[in-house]
Chains A and B, each alone.
Chain A
Amino acid sequence: MQSESVNQWLDADQVRALAESLLAPGPSLNPSPNESIYGESFEGFTVVAAEQSSSKALQSFSKANPGAVSARGISEKPELAERASVENPAAVRKTVPSLPKEPEIKLEPIEQPRPRPQGAPTPVAPQSLNSPRLGEKEKQRHIVASAQAPAREPQPASSQPIKMKQTPQGEVHPNRSQRPEPQRAAVVRSPFKRIAQKQPDRKEPVQRETFRPLPLSTRLQAFGVWLKEQISTQSYFICDRHGEIVVDEVGSEKLIKVARTLAHASSSAGRQVGDDQDLGSLHVKIGPDRVMEVVPRHSHFGLVVLGLIVPRPLSREAAGSVSRALATALADQSSPGQ
């Protein structure tokens, strides 16, 4: 029997039902392979040690532990997606939810290809490959080829149904759980820097009237080509701070959401320590031979998130090179020197 001072103030049946629901054990958080587009080998944020602590704690209770994250918005900046779509609507898709299984738009050949010597990025040769017989360019090609070779070997087909769009180069093997080794391609130079480095050789100053910057969409396409040639990128996407897609070859809303969440958290953490650009390698394992590398980059558009599907995590130097190349591609080139 309840006190008059209490039962007039609340619905006892409702309260009891709510309390009983709280006493029920939590649902298992191990999604079935059919529920998870990442497959059984999905490891989550591999750079976050805290996930391990939660698991340890819950292992003592013989239960699983959640890792709930949520996306959030960021500050006001120019609209990257809108600008890119205006410049080249064919290369842009506006929203994620309406994604078809096959990407509507694929990167088409660049209409105005830049000269190869300027546009082709070249990795720095490791010291062990300083052969005097090889020309500089041949050495660099050799390094890139050797770095890409293991990643491009054909993989056996997986029996696990994976919803995420697969590329012919890398199949997902959910039963494997080996942590991928970082790629050894240490430093990759941006194609855009090469152009910038050559400019000081000009004796005459560049005239503003004669400088004709490439459209943003063209620069992003060139950047995409560079990613595939130099970083072994199988597919990639770029989205702005609102999650609006600028380029998407991945076709997975969930992966993009995961990337945005990781990028926002890492970017905020980076700002707290005073270094919001050199965030190192942020990656999520999505399969035995597939890693989503997340490269957040602050630009005049705000935070831009680049997601790469690569066979192995990028080294810190490679991630930095990608980040700088992305910044260059996004830079407002309406004036020389930018």
Chain B
Amino acid sequence: MITLAITSQKGGVGKTTLAINLAHAFARSGRRTLLVDSDPQGSVGLSLTRQSRHLSGFYDMLGNPSVSAENIIVPTRLPTLSLVASGRSSAYELGGGSMGVTLHRVRCFLSEVAALNYDVCIIDTAAGLFGATADVLSASTGVIVPQQAEPLGVRSVPKMLEALARMRVVNPQLQVLGVVLTMVNKKLPESLESAEALRNLLPPEMVMQTVIPRDDLFVKASARGLPVGVMEEGAEALAIFEGLRTELERRIVPPNPQSAEYAK
């Protein structure tokens, strides 16, 4: 199993949208995929299920060793996609996590998930590379960084890189899979300019070719509690996240024998 954390220093850059739709793309490809919400805001659960407030989830598991992965995994309509909601994080927010214990719990959780034969675990994180997010990154195999295609987003890149460099001290094997440009507004020159500036700034292999456009369809999908690719008019978005999945798989995931594109 591979564990992909989706994280960024800055909030509001589209982490949850990327996590949901990338998980959907992996699941559609036949890989058993688990989408985990480690953001105390619970955005994944709020995006995909009305019952999210009542679901035990990631923070319940952190706070109570008797809560196993099986207890908190929620199936979806897509058999290969399951999710773990954020759960009740109030105790964690008040007391914080004990250093070492939270990481231990995250690793135990991922061990249980791997034992349940999941192929991919995608973890949506809260903004900022500290607290539970740092523990998630310490236990992950790869990190994807969504970056808003706006000047402020690009200016925050050094902070993000510095934080990732610190995380690589803790987890030297953490693979920085790349930056994904999000909220690209093709009608707005500043957005396109920012996207270009980021590509010029970073090594080419660090910036994904696939970009996520700013699209009202994401808002509509969220309102209906669906991945955007499931929407009737979501074919284009579906193709975008399929492209991103393929790009990511070429970087990290061993070829899927069931996938026709790898048989070529």
User: Which residues of A does B touch, CB under 8 Å?
Assistant: 1-3, 5-7, 9-12, 14-16, 18-23, 26-27, 29, 48-54, 56-58, 60-61, 63-66, 68-70, 72, 261, 264-265, 268-269, 272-273
Please tell me if B107 contacts chain A, counting CB pairs below 8 Å: yes
Alpha-carbon distance A60/B190, docked complex (angstroms): 41
Please classify the interface of chain B as helix (H, G, I), strand (E, B), loop, or mixed, using the class held by over half of its residues.
helix
Pick the residue among A15, A56, A261, A273 that contacts B161 (CB under 8 A). Answer: A15
Are A51 and B107 interface neighbours, CB within 8 A? Answer: yes
Collect the chain A residues with CB atoms within 8 Å of residue B127's CB. Answer: none
Cross-chain contact of A3 among B112, B138, B194 (Cβ < 8 A): B194
Residues on B with C-beta less than 8 A from A52 are 111
How many residues on the B side are at the interface (Cβ–Cβ under 8 A)?
54
Which B135-150 residues sit within 8 Å CB-CB of chain A?
Answer: 138-139, 141
Asked if B161 and A6 sit within 8 Å, CB to CB, the answer is no
Kindly report which residue of chain A lies nearest to residue B174, judged by CB atoms: A26
Q: Is residue B235 within 8 Å, beta carbon to beta carbon, of the partner chain?
A: no
List of A residues within 8 angstroms of B158 by Cβ: 10-11, 14-15, 18
Using a Cβ cutoff of 8 Å, how many contacts connect chains A and B?
Answer: 149
Give, as a whole number of angstroms, the nearest-CB distance from B176 to chain A.
5
A58 touches B141 (CB 8 A): yes
- Bound together, the chains give a CA A23 to CA B176 distance in angstroms of 6
- 17 cross-chain CB contacts under 8 A: A2-B200, A3-B154, A7-B197, A10-B201, A16-B203, A19-B202, A23-B205, A23-B206, A26-B171, A50-B110, A57-B141, A60-B254, A61-B141, A66-B171, A265-B100, A265-B104, A269-B65
| Contact A1 B173, beta carbon cutoff 8 Å | no
In contact, B165 and A18 (Cβ under 8 angstroms): yes
Question: B252 an interface residue at 8 Å Cβ cutoff?
Answer: yes
Interface residues of B (CB under 8 A from A): 1-3, 63-66, 98-101, 104, 106-108, 110-112, 114-115, 138-139, 141, 151, 154-155, 157-158, 161-162, 164-165, 168, 170-176, 190, 193-194, 196-198, 200-203, 205-206, 252, 254
Q: Which residue of A lies closest to B200 (CB)?
A: A2
Contact B65 A26 (CB under 8 A): no
CB distance from A243 to the nearest CB of B (A): 15
| Cβ of A167 to closest chain B Cβ, rounded Å | 30
Interchain CB contact under 8 A, B170 and A68? yes
Q: Return the chain A residue nearest B109 by Cβ.
A: A50
Residue A27 contacts which of B139, B157, B164, B172 (CB distance < 8 angstroms)?
B172
Cα distance A318–B150 when bound, in Å?
Answer: 62
Specify which chain B residues have a CB less than 8 angstroms from the CB of A58 in the assembled complex. 141, 173
Minimum distance in angstroms from A49 CB to a CB of chain B: 5
Beyond A29-B173, A56-B111, A264-B100, 6 extra complex contacts between A and B, CB < 8 Å:
A3-B194, A18-B162, A26-B172, A50-B110, A53-B108, A268-B100
Report the bound CA distance from A64 to B99 in whole Å: 23
| Cβ contact within 8 Å between B165 and A15 | no
Which chain B residue lies CB-closest to A10?
B158
Instruction: Name the CB-closest residue of B to A1.
Output: B200
- Report the bound CA distance from A65 to B2 in whole Å: 12
Provide the residues of chain A in CB contact with B200, threshold 8 Å: 1-2, 12
Hey, which chain A residues are within 8 Å of B114, CB to CB?
53, 56-57
